[in-house]
Amino acid sequence: MLGESGKLLVLVGLLGGLALGLQGSPPELLFVDFPETIAADGQPVTGFLLFQDPDGDVVKAQFELLEGEREALTIEPGWEFDPGVKGETEGAIEFRIAAAAPGAFKLRATLRDGAGLTSEPVEFAFTAEAVSAPAPVLAVSPERLEFRGREGEALAPQTLTIANAGGGVLEWVARSDQPWLLVGATRGTVPAGGRVELQIIAQTGGLAAGTYEGTVTITAEGAEGSPARVPVTLVLEPKPRPPVLDVSPTSLSFRGEVGAALPSRTITVRNAGGGVLSWRASTTTPWLSLSPTSGQLEGGRRATITVRVSTQGLNPGSYQGRITIVAEGAENSPQTVAVTLQLTAPTERCGSTIFFDDFSDRNSGWVVGDFQGASWGYTQDGQYRVLTKWSNTIAWSWAPLPRVSGSFCLEVDVKHLVQGALSDFGMLGVIFAGNPDARTFAFFGILNPLGAYVVGRLSGQVRFLQGPIVSEAIQGVNRTEKLLIIARGNRAEFYINGKRVTTLSLSTAGAVGVFVATFDDPNVNGRFDNFRVREFR
């Protein structure tokens, strides 16, 4: 039995020079090459069966245990196996033997060919020696840990891996040197080649913002690499301040005339804290509108809400409203802003009456008669009528009072009466800043079918200073429209049914009265009532 591979090669070379024998002879097992000593560690050790067979029909190799415990041995491919050398007349058959327990072993090997002929057996012996188990080796990863977060914030645990990179069983103990640094388990075992995960917990409760250092120590008695120390760093940033809702001012006041466009006001919304403040503004007050109604603000930032008032449909008087601003999760939420609205009638700026005519007296002094394509006169129901019968004509009548100064209030009720053959397309209204001798004046008129108003001047021909401009304040034909001019110096404000529609700078001193005008269609009938001139306060 050879124990060195060099001997095996020499023998194989010798076999190559042998002349093959007679046909039909049994195979010949020349010798078994296997070490005399192996380790009883369960690891396979390779051996060889050297043979020659002139027939080249070896089909089975077989081992038989002569000494030792069979349960301690494992042979690969098996105790009996086809060596896979059919057709070969010489060579080496490989096998492997593993011993799981120490002891002395003796085996017998034979070969058999396809004709059932068996070689002479060859015995070989070896000893399996006990192997001392390798010592455990402690390996811990990662080498360090770092936790980051905010004070008071719960942090996710991290993991240490404890591995046994050696043999045997590694028994470990874990401990921490800081009260805020906790280990998920304090002891355990790891088999050879195994590993376990250990949770490491950083408790932030009660800790102020700052940097903290600690160490987790893993000890394994008798193991290489023990103890293993893992530095742990905890970095806590200051706890973020919550958002704080700050609203200013907390009240708004609007004052103005009915129908007038009032200046807008603003509300400031500010995040007086930290984080992000998400706010919403709303109101159930119908005459209030807000823009914008929502937004987001980082700490210290502010936004502006524009508050507008609509006086449409409101009467003179005092009104109360409220705006609510909400920021979910923020301190000081919700906040309310009280809104007051004081509305006055435009005529509150008008003083004592200079002239008034309700046209109940047919001899009050207005033009009466029919001439130049128009008809003037008082009606049975106490109104004044101007009927323009020609197309593209303007007819007017001066009020029977002296010239008025540039500061006054002029009011009159007008109605464009349409019935029968009367046209619904025309213009009527009041005249002011007039010069009866020169037959010139300024006028403020409405075109009911169009729902529009104009301000113009007649001086030889009609010229529009403003308009026609459509206004929702105009009701339409056969409806009484209340016209008002408030003049102060060279500035005049024009109202329809209590709503201020425009303001112009122009001369206002002179005579006043009423007018009716036609365009392409004749027969425009205007009715007038309650003509009043008052002082401007």
Q: Are residues 120 and 11 in the same domain?
A: yes
Sort strands 524-536 and 408-417 into parallel, antiparallel or unpaired: antiparallel
Averaged pLDDT score across all residues of the chain:
92
CB 285 within 8 A of CB 321: yes
Write the CATH number for 175.
2.60.40.10
- 242 falls within a domain: no
Which letter does DSSP use for residue 349 in this model?
Answer: G
* Amino acid in position 55: D
Torsion angle, alpha carbons of 204, 209, 213, 215, to 10: 0
User: What is the residue range of 192's domain?
Assistant: 138-237
pLDDT at residue 231, as a whole number = 97
Q: How far apart, in Å, are the Cα atoms of 360 and each of 352, 378, 410, 431, 516?
A: 21, 8, 19, 21, 21
Q: Tokens 């464009």 label which residue?
A: 416
pLDDT the model gives residue 257: 83
In a shared domain, residues 410 and 268: no
pLDDT at 537: 84
In a domain, 531, yes or no: yes
Task: State whether 230 and 251 are in the same domain.
Answer: no
User: How many Å is the Cα radius of gyration of the chain?
Assistant: 58
Tell me: do 427 and 340 sit in the same domain: no
Q: What is the CATH number of the domain that holds 68?
A: 2.60.40.2410
| CB 270, CB 299: distance < 8 Å | no
Cα-flanking dihedrals φ and ψ of residue 16, to 5°? Answer: -65, -25
Surface-to-core class of residue 250, CB atoms within 10 Å of its CB (0-12 exposed, 13-18 middle, 19+ buried): exposed
Clarify whether residues 358 and 453 are in a common domain.
yes
Same-domain status, 317 and 370: no
Q: Report the distance separating Cα 508 and Cα 536, nearest Å.
A: 13
What is the per-residue pLDDT for 330?
A: 93
Q: State both tokens at 174.
A: 């874990």
448 in the Ramachandran plot: left (φ > 0), alpha (ψ -120 to 50) or beta? alpha
Assess whether 287 and 427 both reside in one domain.
Answer: no
pLDDT for 12: 39
**Are 70 and 116 in the same domain?**
yes
Q: Domain boundary residue among 203, 237, 271?
A: 237
User: Residue 477 falls within a domain, yes or no?
Assistant: yes
| 327 strand-pairing partners | 279
DSSP run (H or E) holding 290: strand 288-291
Residue 10 to residue 20: CA distance in whole angstroms: 18
CA distance 115 to 112: 8
pLDDT for 16 = 42
* CB 496 within 8 Å of CB 258: no
Final residue of a structural domain among 304, 321, 344: 344
Last residue of a domain, one of 237, 257, 285: 237
> pLDDT below 70 — which residues of the chain?
1-23
Q: What is the pLDDT of residues 60-84, one digit of tens each?
A: 999 999 999 999 999 999 999 999 9
Total number of domains constituting the chain: 4
- Same domain, yes or no: 160 and 80: no
- CA dist 357 and 348 (Å) reads 20
Q: How far apart are the first and last CA of the chain?
A: 140
Tokens of 500: 């201020």
CATH assignment at residue 411: 2.60.120.560
Same structural domain, 443 and 524: yes
Q: Which amino acid is located at 294 in the chain? A: S
Three-state DSSP class for residue 14: helix
The first and second tokens of residue 413, run together, are 């009720």
148 is a domain residue: yes
Same domain flag for 163 and 292: no
